[in-house]
Structure 1
Amino acid sequence: MIVGAGFAGYHCARTLSRLAKGAAEIVLLNPLDYFLYVPLLPEVAAGILEPRRVSVSLTGTLPDVRLVLGQAHNVDLDARRVAYTDPEDREGTLSYDRLVLTVGSVNKLLPVPGVAEHAHGFRGMPEALYLRDHMTRQIELAGATDDEDERAARSTFVVVGAGYTGTEVAAHGVLYTRALARQNARLRDGPRPRWLLLDVADRLLPGLDERLSRTADRVLRARGVDVRTGTSVKEATADGVLLDDGGFIASRSLIWCVGVRPDPLVASLGLPSDKGRLCVDEYLNVPGRPEVFACGDAAAVPDLTRPGEVTPMTAQHAQRQGRVAARNVAASCGKGTPRAYEHHDLGFMVDLGGIQAAANPLHLPISGPVAGAVTRGYHLMAMPGNRVRVAADWLLDSVLPRQGVGLGMVAPWSVPLDTESPEVARLPRGTTGTA
C-alpha cells in the first residue's frame, strides 16, 4: 500500500505496477483522483494553463493500481492497518503487507500575528484557483473604486518567501495583473499593479545556485517587482502588512510561500524523525520496521552524495526516490535486489514567465529565451501525461490575449493557511472535497 500520490507516491506506484505485472495487489490511498504536477501551478494561477492540464488521472495512467480515495489519519504499525476518511466523511481501514509512506508536505506556518487569518498559501490546486480569482477580483475592484488609497491597496500584492515557489508566483503574477490592468479602462493609464517579494535571506532563491538567484533578481526588478531581502513580516492585518523594519504596506493580498513542513501524519507515528521527517536508511526503509518504507518530503533520506546530510525537499529527489522505493519493496518480496538511493542533482529550472527563465541543466547556467525553452521542454518530459494539452495551451497563450475572468470557484475560507490538507478545499458543511 502506498499512502500519498505526489511525485514520490505516483512514481512508486507506477514502477511497482510494472515490476509486479499483476502478481501483487497495489493499493494507492490518496484524497484526490489525480497526480498534481506542482511545478506548473503558478501558470494555472496566472491563467496560462487550465487546471486539468496539470492534473494527471491516477486511474487513467495507473491501470493496474487500485485507487482508494481518502485522507490517512492513523497508522497502526503493529496491526499493519491504515485508517482513513473518504471524501464523504466515511471512516475506513486498509491492511497491508508492505507500506510506503509518501504523504508529502503542507504549508509552513510561522507564529506571526494575523498571518493565519489574512494570508493564503500555494501548495495545491484549490489555492492556485483561489489566487487566480483573487488577483482578477482585486484588479476589477481597483478599477471600480474612486478612492485612490483603496485602488492602490487593491493593486498591491505581497509575496512572502523568495524560494522556488514565491519567485515563480511573483514572476507570473506581475505579468498577469498588468495584462488585466491594460484591459481595464480605468486602470489602463494609471500606475501599474505593484508587487513585492520579501524574504529574510540575503538573496532570492537562497537554496539554489547564486547565478540562478542573480538572473531571477534581474528579471523581476526589470518588471518592477519590489524585491526586499533581509525583510520579514511582523504582523498581517486585513488592510495590509507591517514589516519588521517598521514599514507598512497597504494591500489586500498576502501570499505565503515561506516553505513547507512534513505532513502531520509523520509525527503521529511515534517513530524517530529529523526535523519532522521520518528517519529512513539509504534503502528508504524505516529502521526496525522492515515492512515500512518512506520517501519524498515526508522522509529524511540520507544523501549519499553529501555524507551527514539528508536530501532536500524537491520533486527531483521525490520522483527518483519513489522509483527506488518500488524496487526495494519488490526486493523485499523476493523480486530483485535492494538498491541504495543516490542521486546527484541535475540542476534546477525557475520559470520566470513569458519567455524568461533561469536554469542550470547539468550545472550549466543559462537564462533568457533559451532557458525558457529548456525549462518548458523539461516540464513536458517530466510530466507523466497531458503533454500535448499543455503544449497547446502554451501555444495559444503566446498568440492570444490572456483570459482574465474570475470564476468564483474557491472562496477564501475554503483554503485556510493552517490546513493539514492543502490539496483539498474546505466545504461549508465542515467536510473537504475537490474544488
Structure 2
Amino acid sequence: MPRPRILVIGAGFAGVECLHRLERLLKPEEAELTLVSPHDYQLYLPLLPHVAAGVVTPQSVAVSLRRRLRRTRYVPGMALGVDTRRRRVAVRTVEGAEWELGYDRLVLAAGSTTRLFDIPGVTEHALGMKTLAQAAYLRDHVIGQLDAAAAAADPETQAERLCFVVVGGGYAGTETAACLQLLTQAAVRRFPHVDPSMLRWHLVDIAPRLLPEIGERLGAAAMKVLGGRGIEISLNTSVTRVTPTSVELTDGRTLRTRTLVWTAGVAASALVHTVDADLVRGRLATTPEMTVPGVDGVFAVGDAAAVPDLAMGEGGITAPTAQHSQRQGKAVARNVVADLRGTSMEPYFHRDLGLVVDLGGGYAVSRPIGVGLSGLPGQAVARGYHLLALPTVTARTRVLVNWALNAATGADFVSTGFQNGRPATLPDFEHTDVYRTG
C-alpha cells in the first residue's frame, strides 16, 4: 500500500519542529513527509532587530532546513489555497509554475504577516520587520538616510532624513527602536556633516503602557532606559495618515520623516481564509489536540491557529509567540503519529515561560518563570534564552561569535545594497496578495 502523505505548510517554528519530530517518531516506510515553504531556511524571528542593527549577520538567524530535516521532501513555493474536500493544496513554485499537492494529513503552520489597518499610506510607505529581507532592507534604508542627510543642503530635508518613527510598543517594536537607535547614535559620529543633535527617534503605540506583555514594572523600566537614550515614546497614540515624507498622529502632531517602521501586531496568514473552517480572531479554530473541527486530516498550529490555551482557562487561546509555536510543533507531531496509528491524541498544554526583551547597550528586561529582571542580569537571561532556543549548534555558535565581535569591535555602517531595485512595501515583502479566496 502507498505510504500516507503528511504535508506541512510553513517552515517557521511550528512547521519545522513538527517535521523534525516526525522524522524521529516515524520510520521511513510509515509516511512520506513534504514541506512547502518559499525559503529553504527556518528564520529565528526574535533576533531580526539584531540583524537590522548589524549586531548579527543574516545567515546567523537563517537555519538551513537541510541541517534539521534529513528525509523530508522540500518544495520551494507558496501554498495558495486548500481544498479540504479533494485533499489537495494549490502551490505556486518560486519560478511561477502552479500545481497541486495531495495529502492524507495536512499540518497548517503558515504563520502570520504584519497586521495592517485601514490607515491611508501605511501599505504604500511603511517598512516592516517580519522577514529576513525586510530586516536587511531596513538596515540599508536607515544607513542610506544618514548618507542622504549628510549630502542634503536643505536643513528641513536633513531633519526629515534624521527622523525615524516606529509604530508598535510590543517587544518587536520596542527592540527594533532600541537597536536601531543605538546603530544611528554610533553611526552619526562617522558623518562629519551631520549634527548628532538632529537625530530623532519616536516610538508610538495605541496602548496605555509600553511592553504590556511583560508587566507594568518592567515596562516602566524599559521606558526609562529608552527615554534616557533620547527616544520619544508616545502612548495612547495612533497613526491617522502616512505620506512619503510625514506621519500624522492622532494627537494632532505631524512628524516629518522618510522612515516609518510598522510593527503594530500580526495577523494570521491569509491562507487560513481558503480553508472551509471556522475562524477565531482571524485564526483557524482548533480543538485542544490541534485538529480543525469538521475537516478530516487537517491540523493547525502556530500563529495561524487559535489553539485553546488550557493553562489560561475557559475561552482563552494561545498567544502568537515563538514559544507556543515551537511547542505546538512538537505536540502536533505526536498527535499526527497517534492519528496514523489509531491511538489517542493528547491536548496541548503549556504554561508561558515568560518573555525577554533585549534593548541592546547592555540592557534588557526579562521575566523568566515570573521573575522580573532588568539591566545586565536581564540581558544575560535574554541572550541565554535565545542561544538555547536557536535550533542548531551552528546557529548558536554564529550568534555568540557575532555578539562577541560586536561588543569588542563595534559595528560597521555599510549599506550593502542587497535589496536595491525591489519594491519595498509590506505586501511586496510578505507576499500577502497571492492567496486564493476559496
- TM-score, with length taken from structure 2: 0.94
Question: Is the alpha carbon distance of 1:423 and 1:365 closer, same or farther for their aligned partners in structure 2, counting shifts above 3 Å?
Answer: farther
Residue 294, structure 1, aligned to residue 303, structure 2:
no
Aligned mates of 1:331, 1:77 — CA distance in 2:
21
Correspondence for 2:35: 28
Alignment check: 8 A CA contact 2:112 2:303 kept: yes
Deviation of the 1:336 alpha carbon: 5.7
Residue 120, structure 1, aligned to residue 127, structure 2:
yes
Correspondence for 1:433: none
Question: Is the alpha carbon distance of 1:279 and 1:28 closer, same or farther for their aligned partners in structure 2, counting shifts above 3 Å?
Answer: same
Q: Could you say what the CA RMSD is over the residues aligned between the two structures, in angstroms?
A: 1.7
Correspondence for 1:389: 398
Residue type matched to 1:92 in 2? Answer: W
For 1:256-306, what per-residue CA distance to the aligned partner results, in whole angstroms no more than 9, with x for missing partners?
111111111101112111121001000000112241100101011011112
Corresponding residue to 1:2 among 8, 12, 17: 8
Aligned mates of 2:375, 2:288 — CA distance in 1:
38
Correspondence for 2:224: 218
Deviation of the 1:207 alpha carbon: 3.2
Aligned mates of 1:15, 1:335 — CA distance in 2:
18
For 1:306-330, what per-residue CA distance to the aligned partner results, in whole angstroms no more than 9, with x for missing partners?
2211111111111101111000000
Residue type matched to 2:73 in 1? Answer: R
Correspondence for 1:422: 430
Residue 330, structure 1, aligned to residue 340, structure 2:
no
Corresponding residue to 1:310 among 281, 303, 317: 317
Where 1:138 maps in the other structure, the secondary structure is helix
For 1:74-122, what per-residue CA distance to the aligned partner results, in whole angstroms no more than 9, with x for missing partners?
1111111111001100112111111000001111111111111111111
Aligned mates of 1:172, 1:383 — CA distance in 2:
20
Residue type matched to 1:380 in 2? Answer: L
For 1:213-256, what per-residue CA distance to the aligned partner results, in whole angstroms no more than 9, with x for missing partners?
11221111111100000111111111111111211111100111
Corresponding residue to 2:204 among 194, 198, 204: 198
Residue 78, structure 1, aligned to residue 51, structure 2:
no
Gap regions ≥5 residues in structure 1: 431-435
Where 1:249 maps in the other structure, the secondary structure is strand
Alignment check: 8 A CA contact 2:129 2:135 kept: yes
Correspondence for 2:291: 285
Tell which deviates more after alignment, 379-388 or 33-42: 379-388
Runs of 4+ in 1 over 2 A off after TM superposition: 411-415
Alignment check: 8 A CA contact 2:90 2:101 kept: yes
Where 1:191 maps in the other structure, the secondary structure is helix
Corresponding residue to 2:386 among 371, 374, 379: 379
Residue type matched to 1:328 in 2? Answer: N
Correspondence for 2:100: 93
Question: Is the alpha carbon distance of 1:379 and 1:90 closer, same or farther for their aligned partners in structure 2, counting shifts above 3 Å?
Answer: same
- TM-score, with length taken from structure 1: 0.94
Percent of aligned pairs sharing the same letter: 44
Residue 13, structure 1, aligned to residue 22, structure 2:
no
Correspondence for 2:112: 105
Deviation of the 1:131 alpha carbon: 0.3
Correspondence for 2:149: 142
Deviation of the 1:37 alpha carbon: 0.2
Alignment check: 8 A CA contact 1:46 1:132 kept: yes
Aligned mates of 1:283, 1:122 — CA distance in 2:
31
Corresponding residue to 1:252 among 238, 258, 264: 258
Corresponding residue to 2:244 among 238, 258, 277: 238
Correspondence for 2:4: none
